[in-house]
């Protein structure tokens, strides 16, 4: 398996790449454009057998002329590799062995969170988090279903959600119904921790994830986040070490939140919406740049003002583009009008 730098050199020309998010039961697939500027969700693959996974990937690679695969590496918060990272590494090697021997693609690379900016300039979770920071309190609703590994709904599971209020940790909880459905209202949009607790007789199994709750969109009063969870089976929980250091414990935990620090779980619908918004901002900024270049060539103040007005709506980090656009628009009035010669 090659390094990230080698991967960049090999794929400097125009070509499409896919990214894989290897989950325990499902695998998220994203695809980028030929210029490798924007990555968008493509599909989700149920993780059954390796052969089925390879077959699905081969179809995607063949249909989209893919030249490389990038796989996320779920490191721990301290940068160390845990069981999840080792599992991803093992699976990645098997994917590389099967895919590259078919001469379908050139490279496979596993990258960590530190390398997350190599392809996508649009990160939908960043957009949602930014809007969530200014959203009203108690303007989020969180719902979904809880399933076991056989896709059967789990009833009476406790869904426990907590979020940081600054000075204290706020919480709310509910239980799933007979169809495994849950819904919690009056939550604050933004980053939360979701613990799903399943009572299994002698044990209580806790499945933890970091979740980003969507803020209200546009003129809607409430933001909705829908995420379904598949709880690992008892054998997976039995493999986990006890939090108190003992050899046997009544509460067994699988905590995915350390690997979700940069990219928490989020509503897939919201992801697509905010990706589209991001593409709109990028397109608007390119149009604005085009007007600016045109104004320099023609000397037109009107075109320059049009460019500055368009840039106001491109947002930028912390609305920097809006501020610079306003400044640029104001400065256009300081441009002196050309003097006409009198004959």
Say which residue the tokens 């006890």 belong to: 242
Return the SS3 of 343: coil
Q: Tell the CATH topology of 4-121.
A: Nucleotidyltransferase; domain 5 (3.30.420)
Return the CATH number of the domain spanning residue range 125-266. Answer: 2.60.40.10
In the prediction, which pLDDT does 31 show? 81
Same CATH fold assignment for domains 4-121 and 125-266: no
Contact between residue 1 and residue 108 where contact means Cβ atoms under 8 Å apart: yes
Contact between residue 68 and residue 105 where contact means Cβ atoms under 8 Å apart: yes
Three-class secondary structure assignment of 102-125: CCCCCEEEEECHHHCCCCCCCCHH
- Tens of pLDDT, residue by residue over 285-294, are 778 778 778 8
- Residue segments in the chain with a per-residue pLDDT below the cut of 50: 77-78, 110-124, 318
Average pLDDT of the chain?
75
In the prediction, which pLDDT does 153 show? 94
Annotate 128-197 with DSSP letters as a single string. Answer: HHHHHHTSPTT-EEEEEEEE-TTS-B-TT-EEEEEEE-SSSEEEEEEE--TTSEEEEEEE-SEEEEEEEE
- Tokens linked to 102: 């078919």
CA–CA separation, 207 and 253 (whole Å): 6
In the prediction, which pLDDT does 293 show? 82
- Reference 161, options 175, 149, 180; nearest CA is 175
**What ranges do the domains of the chain cover?**
4-121, 125-266, 274-334
Long-range contacts at 317-325 (CB < 8 A, ≥ 24 apart) = 321/285
- Tens of pLDDT, residue by residue over 106-133, are 555 544 444 443 333 334 456 566 677 7
CA–CA separation, 209 and 256 (whole Å): 5
Q: Helix count (H) and strand count (E) of the chain?
A: 8, 14
């Amino acid at each position: 398996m090659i390094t990230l730098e080698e991967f960049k050199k090999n794929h400097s020309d125009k070509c499409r790449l896919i990214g894989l998010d290897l989950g325990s039961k499902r695998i998220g697939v994203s695809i980028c454009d030929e210029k490798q500027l924007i990555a968008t969700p493509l599909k989700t693959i149920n993780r059954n057998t390796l052969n089925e996974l390879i077959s699905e990937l081969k179809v995607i690679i063949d249909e989209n002329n893919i030249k490389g695969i990038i796989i996320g590496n779920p490191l721990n918060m301290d940068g160390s590799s845990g069981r999840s990272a080792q599992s991803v590494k093992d699976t990645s090697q098997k994917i590389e062995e099967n895919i590259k021997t078919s001469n379908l693609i050139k490279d496979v690379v596993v990258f960590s969170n530190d390398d997350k900016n190599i392809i996508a300039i649009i990160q939908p979770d960043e957009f949602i988090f930014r809007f969530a920071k200014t959203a009203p309190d108690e303007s989020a609703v969180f719902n979904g279903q809880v399933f076991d590994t056989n896709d059967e709904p789990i009833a009476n599971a406790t869904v426990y959600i907590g979020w940081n209020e600054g000075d204290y940790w706020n919480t709310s909880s509910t239980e799933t119904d007979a169809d495994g459905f849950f819904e919690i209202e009056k939550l604050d949009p933004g980053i939360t921790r979701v613990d799903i607790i399943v009572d299994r007789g002698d044990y209580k199994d806790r499945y933890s994830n970091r979740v980003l709750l969507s803020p209200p969109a546009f003129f809607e009063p409430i933001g909705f986040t829908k995420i379904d969870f598949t709880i690992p089976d008892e054998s997976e929980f039995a493999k986990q070490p006890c939090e108190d250091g003992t050899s046997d414990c009544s509460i067994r935990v699988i905590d995915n939140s350390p690997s979700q620090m940069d990219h928490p779980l989020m509503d897939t619908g919201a992801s697509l919406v905010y990706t589209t918004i991001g593409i709109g901002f990028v397109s608007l900024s390119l149009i604005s740049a085009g007007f600016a270049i045109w104004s320099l060539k023609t000397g037109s103040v009107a075109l320059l003002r049009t460019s500055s007005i368009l840039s106001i709506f491109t947002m930028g980090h912390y609305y920097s583009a809006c501020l610079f656009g306003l400044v640029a628009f104001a400065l256009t009035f300081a441009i002196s009008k050309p003097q006409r010669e009198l004959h």
